[in-house]
Structure 1
Amino acid sequence: MSLARASKERAWWQGYDIDATYRTLIGLESAATAISDYQPFAFPGLIQTPDYARAVLLGMGEKKTVQEIDEQVKLRMARQQVVDRPDPPYLSFIIDEAATRRLIGGREVQLRQLDAALAIAERSHVTLQVIDYEAGAHPALPGNFGIVEVEDSAASGIVFVEGHQGDFYLEGSTDLKRYRRIFDQLRSIALSPNKSLEFLAAVRDQIRTPERH
């Protein structure tokens, strides 16, 4: 929370109607030196296309107006400036194979999302890895999480966990070490960055030209 307040001069998100937890996450991202994000079922918000983000938000089943959805999509796209800023944090994304194949928004939306992910992963400060189905069970099966590293933070890092019961942060050194260890394990289990890009390209081609039975 202190980091979010300290970055008030950069707080472009102040004009959005969002809850304190989400506001804090965006503040942390703006001050981050590195972000590690594991997502099992969808592409991470920081690399989602507008159509894909809209489909994700609509699919969550929350009762929101078209205007509210539009505002959330706009905010998600604005968050992505962290990827393109002059001094971007190092971004490490790990996704499950399910995220690559689930046709969120339909075939064309998923194809554009795969193209966008492949393009973003070519950047020098971005690493994208895929855990394919053959990897079997792994330490992050319970769900998604992210780690935001901030050098000026007393804790040096904050874990962000999302869930149906609400989103929350973990700042304790024990929790931070545990989630860093889990993320390192996921890195070793996942396909290499180069193999992951080849995998994404292959899935894209399969979706584009599905087999006919």
Structure 2
Amino acid sequence: MALARESKERAWWQGYDIDATYRTLIGLESAATAISDYQPFSLPGLLQTPDYARAVLRGMGEKRTEPEIEEQVSLRMARQQILDRDDPPYLSFIIDEAATRRLIGGREVMVRQLGTVLAVAERPNVSVQVIDYEAGAHPALPGNFGIVEIEDSAASGIVFVEGHQGDFYLEGAADLKRYRRIFDQLRSIALSPNKSLEFVAAVRDQIRTPEVH
């Protein structure tokens, strides 16, 4: 929370009904100079379209009313305003092939969603890489995580780990070193940014016009 208070951005998220963990994540994102995000099962929240985010939230199995879902979608879209600020952070996304192929929301939603990934990846401060199935086993098979880098702060970085047992933060030097090393390993085995965008475009086209067997 101290890191969130150090952010130069106004705490626009204070009006949302969210828990402290999520509130802290948004504060960290707003203060970040760089964000490294690995997602194996779904596309990153900072790249999601409203329809995709809506389908993700509906499919999570939690009891939410439609107004609650819409509030969460609105919040997720508001988080993306860091992409358009004057000094946006450098965003490095690594996603598993499964996240590009899972038909969350159906074919039309996925086609638009993958198109958005391609469009955002054209920005100079955004990198998207895909780990395809042929890469085999890798150090991050247990699940997704993110690293938020923050300058002029008491901590140089924070690791955010999500799971069914709850979300938590790691800020110890050893943890940061380990997760940075893992992310570097993922970057090295993933397709290059250019190859990744070609891959995403090919998956989008396959979803748009599926083969008839």
Using the size of structure 2 for normalisation, the TM-score is 0.98
Task: Give the match for residue 118 of structure 1.
Answer: 118
- % identical aligned pairs: 86
Equivalent residues in 2 for 1:1-213, closer than 5 Å: 1-7=1-7, 10-213=10-213
Q: Which runs of 5+ in 2 are unaligned?
A: none
> d(CA) in 1 for partners of 2:204 and 2:36?
24
SS, match of residue 148 in structure 2 = strand
> d(CA) in 2 for partners of 1:7 and 1:172?
21
Q: Which amino acid aligns with 2:129?
A: Q
1:83 Cα deviation from its structure 2 partner: 1.1
The answer on whether the counterparts of 2:160 and 2:168 sit within 8 Å (CA) in structure 1 is yes
Q: Which runs of 5+ in 1 are unaligned?
A: none
1:86 Cα deviation from its structure 2 partner: 1.1
The answer on whether the counterparts of 1:41 and 1:98 sit within 8 Å (CA) in structure 2 is yes
Superposition RMSD on alpha carbons, in Å?
0.9
| 1:146-198 residue CA offsets vs partner (Å, 9 max, x unmatched) | 00000122220000000001100000000000000000000000000000000
> d(CA) in 1 for partners of 2:46 and 2:9?
21
Q: Which amino acid aligns with 1:116?
A: T
SS, match of residue 178 in structure 2 = helix
> d(CA) in 2 for partners of 1:6 and 1:153?
8
Aligned length: 213
Using the size of structure 1 for normalisation, the TM-score is 0.98
